[in-house]
Structure 1
């Protein structure tokens, strides 16, 4: 992929994240990428093509990350930490991904849910949670609460990035340091809340 093609793709995910698929025009993407419409259409035939390339690439990375973690020999506690760390890294690499996922899942759920098998992923984790609850290893918690806690703590700083930067005078490098340092904090918060302390 050459520089122009990559620039169009990166601009597209940012605009899709802000405006949604329906409201985004190919001219918006071309203008933001500083290319003319003919150049954009040379690389990407239409808006659907750009969207598919962007979504396929980002969700492929996400799916691969989740599958690798879920099929590892790590304990559930270790996989929590691994997920927090790797999901944060994925968001640092693709800072518009959280907004893209959240907003498009509301505006165009059919375009998102065929990219990720959320149901299979959710069922696997929910089953493990229930097994740990039954063994009194972790406190009772519903899967939706668990998912909201872990995804919210990782994703919200990226969704709220511009406000965080403006209110706290953070550069992009400062922001990346902030979310990098939060990885340990977020993992510890989730694990410390979930896991019951041994008596004695």
Structure 2
């Protein structure tokens, strides 16, 4: 194995180990030594690749976001109707976040700590673009398919209804008096519940 391939292999092991630790223990609970142990390397080697836990967390996030962003961007820019876009966006987003539950809280944490963080995200060439979505909303309002609504407000509603349950998981579990298993069932149900709620609120019958 070449030195470059070995480097990439080691880095992949680190990112996979870090993702597992961050998902189970969160940013604050994760320890660099624990990540190093799980990756099968010593702590000095881990620091060689990532000088701090924050940098490692950002690398894990960017890696996951680079998988999610193209999916969402493709949905927003395909030729399907707004109704289908709402369904597909919701289903894809929730399915992805179930596998990467640390993402919403990390985004909010980073935006609160560093508002320039969004500029880093926008550097990704697949960062979701909603211009076609906005144009379609306007067209479907014009042809009577949708009730009058701001495309920006609709997009915010879609984001909010999908993101909030993951960010507020402990609060929702307390209010609804459910355990972790029941909460996961609620989240699975939201793949259709959110889409139906939004569609029924905007569609002309």
TM-score normalised to structure 2 length: 0.75
Structure 1 window deviating more from structure 2 (37-46 vs 133-142): it is: 37-46
2: distance between equivalents of 1:58 and 1:152?
20
The normalised TM-score by structure 1 is: 0.77
Measure, in 2, the Cα distance between the counterparts of 1:48 and 1:90.
22
Q: How does 1:30-179 map to 2 (within 5 A)?
A: 30=32, 33=35, 37-38=43-44, 40-47=46-53, 49-116=55-122, 121-179=129-187
Unaligned runs of 5+ in 2: 1-11
Check whether the contact 2:105–2:167 (CA below 8 A) recurs between aligned residues: yes
The alignment partner of 2:121 has SS state of: coil
RMSD across aligned positions (CA): 3.0
| Structure-1 separation of matches of 2:183 and 2:71 | 23
Q: Aligned to 2:194, which of 186, 191, 194?
A: 186
How far 1:92 sits from its partner (Å)?
0.5
Distance 1:28 1:94 in 2: 15
Structure 1 gap segments, 5+ residues each:
20-26
Q: Is the 1:98–1:155 Cα contact (8 Å) retained in structure 2?
A: yes
Tell me how far apart the structure 2 counterparts of residues 131 and 114 of structure 1 sit (CA, whole Å).
Answer: 32
Alpha-carbon distance in structure 1 between the residues aligned to 2:49 and 2:177 = 38
Shift of 1:84: 0.6
Size of the aligned set, in residue pairs, is 187
